[in-house]
Amino acid sequence: MSYNSRVPFSQIIAGTMRLGQWGAKFNSDEYLAFIEACIELGVTTFDHADIYGDYTTEEEFGQALASKPSVREKIQIISKCGIRRVCSQRANHRIKSYDSTKAHIIASVENSLKALKTDYIDVLLLHRPDYLMDPDEIGEAVQILNEQDKIIDFGVSNFNTHQFDLVNPKVALCTNQIEVSLQNLNAFDNGLIDQCHKYRLPIMAWSPLDGGSIFAKNPSEQNTRIYKVAYPLLEKYNCSLDQLLLAWLMKHPAHILPIIGTSKIERIKLAKAATDIHISHEDWYDLFQASTGKTLA
């Protein structure tokens, strides 16, 4: 099945949130080494947001790109805007709020382009639904940015189906970045996955391993049920537990792209290898029922 996207996303997306001040605190050389190692693995799409690292991660990433400009043409950059975060980098933000006004979207893109040291962002997403959002104004902002070649495509993140449908007629959306994993199945029932599948749009899945809860020292009842089903399958599919859970997610025909939020290239390598694991229908449902704790009706 082909999908409606002007940007060639890699099947695994590298999340950048924990590379900088909110995590590994990479220096410029470490950023570049991580980026190039990802490219070597075929992981060429990088997920950013303007707020990451309290508005510092994009700039740090951009410094790494500037040190080797040829890298930019090999990757796709996703960035998100729309959250006004209170921090020292944005002293004019009095409270945390959401802002999808034309002025804020355009200013955010200008800031991100400057920070990332690039002429364009492959995909811009609204990070959170703004209760005051005006779809006409959003559409105007995107049209201006498209005409100026500052973004290639536009989508949303964390939108419910009604919010998606409010904006989509004004500007054709390319994705909805949502939380979904074997442990968090809400998107399978609330219409989010079906909606993207209907419009043939790839889904970007954040927290595809439920924030690493599967490795918790004191597992939840849900994860204990999942272990019971999953462990016998690890030998069958010759894989690790995290690979099995990623392969389970990617089994869905809606074209789900896991965002792997790690600073360790070994985790990226394992995730990439999971794209070659093909779980059977019955094993998929066995894991699904382990997660819900219920048999199918």
| 106-155 residue pLDDT tens | 999 999 999 999 999 999 999 999 999 999 999 999 999 999 999 999 99
Catalytic residue among 31, 52, 55, 237: 52
Judged against a pLDDT cut of 90, whether residue 59 lies above it is answered with: yes
CATH class in words for 13-174: alpha beta
| Global pTM value | 0.97
Tokens at residue 138, please?
Answer: 């959003």
Q: CA 143 to CA 135: how far, in whole Å?
A: 12
Distance in Å from the first CA to the final CA of the chain: 29
**Angle ∠(247,248,250) on CA atoms, nearest 5:** 60
Q: CA 82 to CA 97: how far, in whole Å?
A: 8
If you average pLDDT over residues 83-93, what whole number do you get? Answer: 92
Percent of the chain at pLDDT exceeding 70: 99
Active site residue 285: no
pLDDT band of residue 1 (cuts 50, 70, 90) is very low
Q: CA 162 to CA 156: how far, in whole Å?
A: 12
